[in-house]
Structure 1
């Protein structure tokens, strides 16, 4: 029983860390998508027409 406990705690820590990493990854992916959309709009000239003035 004592031998199993550290692995359970470690497994729980890994699971919680994995959730944190997934959340951070989703946030960074969303930020990069926004950047990519802005770059595409600038390339198309839409962004410049709307916001350059």
Structure 2
């Protein structure tokens, strides 16, 4: 009688959030602009991405 193959272990990701790595100067500029506009850093990044997308679509 042959042994049954062991089931492959499925590795569960332990990632709770995703991070973007920015150079320090870019991070400080984005954080400063977000603070002036009373947005979170994530909201500022999304705002700038959406604005850039709208500008490129308008061309």
**TM-score bracket for the superposition, by shorter chain length:** 0.3 to 0.5
Q: TM-score, normalised by structure 2?
A: 0.32
Provide the TM-score with structure 1 as the length reference.
0.34
Q: For CA contacts below 8 A with separation 6 or more, give which structure has more relative contact order.
A: 2
